[in-house]
Amino acid sequence: MKCKKCGEKASVNMRQHRMALCREHFLEWIPDQTERFIKKYNMFTRNEKVLVAVSGGKDSLSLWDILVRLGYNADGLYLGLGIDGGIGYSDESHRLTDEFANKNNLKLHVVDIEKEYGHSIPVLSEISHRGHGKPCAVCGLTKRHEMNRIARDLGYDVLATGHNLDDEAAVLFGNTLHWEPDYLLRQGPVLPEMEGLARKVKPLCRFYEREMTAYAIARGIEYIYEECPFAEGSTQIFYKESLNQLENVRPGTKLTFYLRFLEARQSGELFVKKEPAQAHLHPCERCGQPTSAPGFCSFCRMLEKAALQPTELQ
């Protein structure tokens, strides 16, 4: 297999694009494509301040690397979730994120959930009785709440996450299987800023997961290989595996599924555009962040519930 650009031996073959590239040209192609997506979807400009949510995984570390290389003004945010899972998951991902920031002289904000709210994510999940024994729901709620709070408090224009095509296609698959119109209308590369919610962007949403793995390895980025220990057996992983089966037989299926959805949504042919549900937000009475619920937002209700049952901790 030969590189499409220089004819040398290819190191990455992308069947979905009918294209193979050598290491050097692959390392150029990924940032070039990212730049194209940032412009195409009007994500942000070089005059805006970007906060990259970095988990220590290959996607978000690569995203930070790419944005800085492209000359964007991008700082990092790491959230300490306090997940051990027998492998010191959070400690190790924190160490690798710190190392990346130091090596590249980048600014990293670190917020530890236990220090901030008194308990780690697994404990908060247990004592608030949310999520049926798995901390993933409380974790997602907390990450969304904290990312938005910090991006706004620190004056960033936009919050970027490392979601790739496999992530986006799996979410889309789930929302389609259940025909969730509100979620379908909100899914996309950009969620515009509104009423106290920071603009959110996913610059890697058109890259396959294996492309991002290849990028991180080719670039020599040290990242945490393990998935979150609680992810095992999740519906999301099942959807990813199902889509991979389709992809193996028909290369490009995942990309077409996602891109055609974006086109259909944009054209309004399949989805009737209505006012998004969050149009009627008001500030939470406890933390001031936007919520559609009366009184407290769902994060603060979870904290309140956790605080009411401290004795159940043992």
User: Binding residues for ligand AMP, per CB under 6 A?
Assistant: 53-55, 59-60, 77-79, 81, 143, 161-163, 167
User: Residue 230, interface with ligand FES (CB under 6 A)?
Assistant: yes
Q: What are the backbone angles phi and psi of residue 282, rounded to the nearest 5°?
A: -140, 160
Using CB under 6 A as the criterion, what x/- string covers residues 10-39 for binding ligand FES?
Answer: ------------------------------
Residue 175: both structure tokens together: 């929302």
**Minimum separation from the CB atom of position 231 to ligand AMP (A):** 8
Instruction: Give the range of 57-65, 134-142, 245-253, 283-291 binding ligand FES by CB under 6 A.
Output: 134-142
Pick one of ligand AMP, Zn ion, ligand FES, none as the site partner of residue 286 (Cβ within 5 to 8 A by kind).
Answer: Zn ion
Instruction: Indicate whether 136 belongs to the interface with ligand FES (CB under 6 A).
Output: yes
Contacts of 299 (CB under 8 A, 6+ apart): 141, 142, 144, 145, 284, 287, 289
**Helix residue ranges, H only, the chain:** 23-40, 58-69, 89-103, 113-117, 121-128, 136-153, 165-177, 181-186, 209-219, 235-249, 253-267, 298-308
5 lies in the binding site for Zn ion (CB under 5 A): yes
Question: Which residues between 228 and 287 bind Zn ion (CB under 5 A)?
Answer: 284, 286-287
The verdict on 3 binding Zn ion (CB under 5 A) reads: yes
Tell me the one-letter amino acid at 139: C
- Residues in contact with ligand FES, counted by CB under 6 A, come to a total of 7
Measured from the CB atom, is 3 or 82 closer to ligand AMP? 82
Shortest Cβ contact with ligand AMP: which residue?
A: 162
Nearest to ligand FES of 122, 188 (CB atom): 122
Residue 291 dihedral angles phi and psi, to the nearest 5°: -150, 155
In this complex, which beta carbon is closest to Zn ion, that of residue 54 or of residue 151? 151
Q: How far apart are CA 78 and CA 180, in angstroms?
A: 31
List Cβ neighbours of 236 (8 Å cut-off, separation of 6 or more): 170, 171, 174
Structure tokens at 179: 């025909």
Residues that bind ligand FES (CB under 6 A): 81, 135-136, 139, 228, 230-231
